[in-house]
Amino acid sequence: MNLYAFTSATSAILSLALGFIVITLNPRSRLNRLFLIFCLSLTYMGFTEFGYRQAESLEAAMFWLKASALSPIVVSLFFNFALVFADQQKKWRNPSVYALVYLPAVIFIIVDAFSHWITGDPVRTAWGRYYYHFGV
């Protein structure tokens, strides 16, 4: 097993466990629900990275690379969680705040779905693993 793949899988499992531990403390809390969603997005990102690092073929690597295209939403979810944690809930009454927080991630996801500008292309190395290649 690739060591980088192992660290990705471990961080995904730890994120999942942390999210479920926090939500069991108080499932009705908006903050705890947001933290669970944030942890689930980190889990998804970790498992897609694990799949990418363990890919045995170029097609499998490309599949996992495209599956990881949803990763920019993690930053938006963290910012959402941080604003709620900082007790800035009144800011969320304005719909433009949602646009400012989530629109950049949505744009990155859409651009990456139709191009390789963000995630790049998988390139096989001499030792059999893939790395990201950002060609112009």
Structure pTM?
0.82
pLDDT digits (tens, 9 = 90+) for 28-82: 998 899 999 999 999 999 999 888 888 888 888 888 888 888 888 999 999 888 8
Give the domain extent around 39.
3-133
**Cβ-based neighbours of 86, under 8 Å, separated by 6 or more:** none
Say if CB 54 and CB 1 are below 8 A apart.
yes
Total structural domains in the chain?
1
